[in-house]
């Protein structure tokens, strides 16, 4: 039986469509500045030389990294459209950034980082195999002593995003999921306001690889 175009589209991961069709003010996760990540990193004295932003999308976190003259910046996302939008927004500054269009669960890091940043990507991995694949990449890519800053919907946060189910965490749940190789250094619960003013509860946790 032939399927209509819309049936095909509804079965695809939504990310290319989201980034092709929506401006920043229509992305629930948009934040004009990565305030919480920066506050946690600064508070903990984390000054990385090599950073990877997992599920970077069109996040403005990269601008803060560039302002801080971080030598090695890698942005990874499933969506080429999102990465292209960021490249365009950065203009000449994009020359100092590595863009990787990949699924983190099948990615071959090919190098190591001292900060792994993930705001609202890990929580889309709702099956154990996907999470295990993600954690294997984290273990390969994060240097001993390096930090992972992972933000997800909190246990009382939204159950879905962009039509996809999410796994929700409190910091302690996330610590158990990451396992004993990572020490929880700091955790915050925050309320994110979407561009249209609704509230989403997140947890943001900083781990250090031991």
- CA–CA–CA angle 59, 178, 29 (5° rounding): 20
Residues 57-76, mask of contacts with ligand SAM (x by CB under 6 A): x-x----------------x
**Per CB under 6 A, 148 contacts ligand SAM:** no
CA distances from 135 to 44, 130, 132, 184 (A): 23, 9, 5, 15
Which region, judged by CB under 6 A, interacts with ligand SAM, from 63-71, 114-122, 136-144, 179-187?
114-122
Element holding 204 (H helix, E strand): strand 199-209
3-state secondary structure of 131: helix
Which is closer to ligand SAM, CB of 28 or CB of 112? 28
Which region, judged by CB under 6 A, interacts with ligand SAM, from 62-70, 90-98, 120-128, 178-186?
120-128
Q: How far is the CB of 155 from ligand SAM (least distance, A)?
A: 18
Binding residue for ligand SAM, selected from 113, 124, 169, 202, defined by CB under 6 A: 124
The span from the CA of 114 to the CA of 117, in Å, is 10
**Using an 8 Å Cβ cutoff, are 19 and 82 in contact?**
yes
Which region, judged by CB under 6 A, interacts with ligand SAM, from 116-124, 152-160, 179-187, 197-205?
116-124
Range 19-58, binding ligand SAM (CB under 6 A): 29, 55-57
The span from the CA of 152 to the CA of 118, in Å, is 8
The span from the CA of 197 to the CA of 21, in Å, is 21
Residues found near ligand SAM in the complex (CB under 6 A): 15, 29, 55-57, 59, 76-79, 82, 103-105, 119-121, 124, 161
């Amino acid at each position: 039986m032939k399927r209509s175009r819309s049936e095909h589209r509804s079965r695809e991961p939504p990310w290319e469509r989201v980034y092709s069709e929506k401006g920043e003010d229509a992305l629930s996760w948009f934040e004009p500045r990565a305030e919480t990540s920066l506050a946690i990193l600064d508070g903990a004295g984390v000054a990385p030389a090599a950073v990877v932003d997992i599920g970077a999308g069109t996040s403005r976190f990269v601008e803060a990294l560039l302002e801080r003259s971080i030598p090695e910046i890698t942005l990874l996302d499933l969506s080429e459209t999102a990465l292209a939008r960021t490249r365009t927004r950065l203009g000449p500054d994009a020359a100092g950034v590595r863009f990787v269009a990949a699924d983190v669960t099948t990615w071959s890091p090919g190098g190591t980082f001292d900060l792994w940043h993930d705001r609202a990507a890990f929580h889309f991995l709702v099956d154990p195999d996907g999470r295990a694949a993600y954690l294997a990449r984290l273990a390969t890519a994060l240097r001993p002593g390096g930090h992972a800053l992972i933000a997800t919907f909190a246990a009382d946060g939204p159950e879905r995003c962009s039509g996809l189910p999410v796994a929700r965490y409190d910091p302690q749940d996330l610590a158990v999921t990451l396992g004993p190789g990572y020490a929880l250094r700091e955790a915050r619960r925050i309320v994110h306001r979407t561009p249209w003013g609704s509230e989403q509860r997140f947890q943001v946790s900083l781990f250090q690889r031991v």
